[in-house]
Amino acid sequence: MANGKYFINIFFNNPRCAHPPSRCLLNYAAVSSQIELVKNENLIDLLEQRTDIAIRIGELKDSTLTASPLGLSQIRILASPDYLAKHGTPTTVEDLTQHQLLGFSSLEKLNHWPIYDAFNNLLHIQTNIKADSGETLRQLALCGTGIVCLSDFTQQDIKVGPLVQLFTTTTLKIEQPINIVYYRNKELSKRVSSFIELMKQAVKS
């Protein structure tokens, strides 16, 4: 792997999700290589922020960036056992109108959940509790504040117990792309391409 310092912008605040980039550097990087992770869920100017690589989930609109796919991540509707014990478990879309739903404030398209409404459209939730961070919404759900829709890649709680998936038989399989994005630059080309290949290996493993 090419030596040097790597500035990597990640879109999530959950420290466990930083494992792939840090793990691949620990496993493969030369002693003189360094990594600096910057947490930011918003779109940024990579050059202005001195960032070599950004990891983003969802559709990309910036045509000046080059994207290298890492994989796909399914979105699911989740709630904590404490919330369900207190408020009951919704079994239909209509039931959700009686529950506290947690939504995104910055990207309205993320408030379309992977389940059909009465008109066979993706359910567009209405909520009075919103946040611009998936990690903030995850923490609210863990505290029993309400029901949330999150990507598998940004949370692992469904695998270890604290969050329970709802509508398991009717949830649509909607997957969001995960990409490493960067500007094409001759000076960075060798370092960037080397790191991308290591990231792909780390994600697969």
Highest average pLDDT, of 17-26, 48-57, 99-108, comes from 99-108
Per CATH, 5-72+176-204 and 74-175 having the same topology is answered yes
Given a contact cutoff of 8 angstroms between Cβ atoms, the answer to whether 99 and 87 are in contact is: yes
Residue 156 or 12, more confident:
156
- SS3 for 169? coil
Instruction: Give the CATH class of 5-72+176-204.
Output: alpha beta
What are 194-198's contacts with CB under 8 Å, separation 24+?
Answer: 194/1, 194/2, 195/1, 195/2, 195/6, 195/24, 195/52, 195/53, 196/53, 196/68, 198/1, 198/24, 198/25, 198/27, 198/28
Given a contact cutoff of 8 angstroms between Cβ atoms, the answer to whether 9 and 46 are in contact is: yes
- SS3 for 149? strand
pLDDT, position 187: 60
- Domain 74-175 grouped into CATH 1.10.101.10: no
pTM of full prediction above 0.85: no
pLDDT, position 50: 55
pLDDT tens-digit profile of 155-182? 654 555 589 999 999 999 999 888 888 7
Domain boundaries, the chain: 5-72+176-204, 74-175
pLDDT tens-digit profile of 46-79? 544 556 777 777 777 666 777 888 888 899 999 9
